[in-house]
A and B are shown apart, each in its own frame.
Chain A
Amino acid sequence: MSETRDTWQKPPFIANPVIRWAVYLGAAVYFLWVGATMPIDWARVADGLGRAGRIFGGAFPPSFERSGLLIDGFLESLKIAILATTGGVLLSIPIAFMAARNVAPLPVYYIGRFVIIVARSFHPVIVAIIFVKAVGFGPFAGVLTLIVYSIGFVAKMLAERIEEIDFGQVEAMRAAGAPFLSTMFYAIFPQIMPRQIGLTIYQLDSNLRASAVVGIVGAGGIGATLANAFGRYDYDFALAITIVIVGVILISEGVSGMIRKRIG
């Protein structure tokens, strides 16, 4: 019997030493190579700093002179967000049921997952560019964009919640001979309802934020107002808009957090 060991080391992350050192070395070489080959023109960086200084100089003090425009832009953003959340959530519910493995037959499940993956693949800005091309500038493009964005998030989260339900309740309805829709409304909806409400409120908050971004590429709302202000070198107005955006998002986040805590 040999002496009991008194030293121990955590096993290395990658067991094979050859592969381990090859990975470390490869990573180091790659970073050096990227650093050496990225075209960074320091002269232009210096120029840019001056330009940035001018922009910020022009932005102070922020100007709330055209607050009418600002309020209009915000009301439009709010409308976009509310419409998109309503439409997106309503569409998300059937898609989520399609994409939940425990309630949908396999082919339907694949269709549901595919819809969600497509909706999640593109950043809202890219979707917005496509919709602006398709239906023209303005809030309608924004609503369509955010509907797609909402489906990507709400349907995915809801499908996951459906997959976590207590299936015994569904079994009880089946054992009573309940048809599919009745089973859904009695055994599944009550279980996913709190999550559903939480997700809707979160998505409204998220859509309000995103509506400012997609506006920049022409999909209406406060983002369009902001893009216009920049385009006309009205940096002071742009700063005013930015401040209000931050304020509104803070408020909406606080309110939605409060509501979600209540129902959680």
Chain B
Amino acid sequence: MLKITDLVKRYGGGDPVLKNLDLMIEGESVVSIIGSSGAGKSTLLRCINRLVEPTSGSIELNGTELTKLRGKSLRAARRKIGMVFQGFNLVDRLTVMENVQSGRLGYISTFAAITRRYPKEDVRRAFELMERVGIAQYADTRADQLSGGERQRVGVVRALMQDPEILLADEPTASLDPKTSEQIMGLLRDLAGELKLPVLINIHNVTEAKEYTDRIVGMRYGRIIFDDKPAALDREAMDRIYSGSPHADRSEDMREAS
């Protein structure tokens, strides 16, 4: 269970990007976060695994408070949070197997990592997962030889290798063509079911969000203004989420403040 309470993130001295945000994700649901660019979707996701430092508030994953962790305990917590990136973030010059095994770097010693002596069960798990998503034949291929959809599959397998308790996906399909994009979304949904894994997906494509996820969270300018089943996302709700501009939102805030 992921429980976010009163989360604030402020860059420098400006307006906060996330404003006293509360969010609860229970069980193995697939949740999508929609909202226009600059609404704070990415920042929210990155606060969870602390790639971005939250300013204040609390984030709890299965009973562990994440915001106070440092050093070793932070790394141990991050192992339990898988992340899939928009730009895939694969190491281009390494093989697919090395990329997949890099999801285990938090578990194995640096020496084992450098010498590529991966534990037998990790290699077996890697082949199982790669077989599942259809990239097993590429184990020895360099990551930059693959197509976009294949690369994102490597990204997904890498995240799953962490044996995560939750999976974060930051615009996982934004760099892909529509067909591949649907395949990846379908894969994420199916894997979430198979592995009993809650998945949190930032996404721009509302149609895909409706089709592939169980719950939609709508963000606008650092706040959650919609949180319901996909069926409840009607025209009016869409307008509230996407209308206006960050600039208008800002001046609105100024009026409230004055």
Return chain A residues, CB-CB under 8 Å to B79.
Answer: 176-177
Instruction: Report how far A182 CA is from B117 CA in the complex, Å.
Output: 13
CB proximity of A201 to chain B, nearest CB, Å? 18
Instruction: Report how far A181 CA is from B105 CA in the complex, Å.
Output: 10
Q: Does A104 contact B (CB under 8 A)?
A: no
Interface size on A, residues (CB 8 A): 21
Contact of A186 among B74, B77, B81, B105 (CB under 8 A): B105
CB proximity of A103 to chain B, nearest CB, Å? 15
Instruction: Report how far A174 CA is from B103 CA in the complex, Å.
Output: 10
Q: Does A183 contact B (CB under 8 A)?
A: yes
B94-A177 in contact (CB<8A): no
A174-B113 in contact (CB<8A): no
A168-B89 in contact (CB<8A): yes
B76-A172 in contact (CB<8A): no
Return chain B residues, CB-CB under 8 Å to A193.
Answer: 93
B75-A178 in contact (CB<8A): yes
Q: Does B158 contact A (CB under 8 A)?
A: yes
Assess A177 versus B113: contact at CB under 8 Å? Given A172-B158, A190-B91: no
Interface size on B, residues (CB 8 A): 32
Assess A186 versus B113: contact at CB under 8 Å? Given A174-B78, A175-B83, A177-B78: yes
Instruction: Report how far A174 CA is from B177 CA in the complex, Å.
Output: 28
CB proximity of B114 to chain A, nearest CB, Å? 5
Assess A175 versus B92: contact at CB under 8 Å? Given A185-B110, A186-B102, A186-B113: no
B:102-116 near A, CB below 8 Å: 102-106, 110, 113-114
Assess A173 versus B102: contact at CB under 8 Å? Given A181-B110, A182-B113, A185-B113: yes
Residues in chain A within 8 A of chain B (CB atoms) = 166, 168-169, 171-179, 181-183, 185-187, 190-191, 193
Known A181-B110, A182-B105; further 4 A-B contacts with Cβ < 8 A = A169-B90, A171-B89, A172-B90, A172-B155
Residues in chain B within 8 A of chain A (CB atoms) = 49, 51, 74-79, 81-83, 85, 87, 89-94, 98, 102-106, 110, 113-114, 155, 158-159, 162
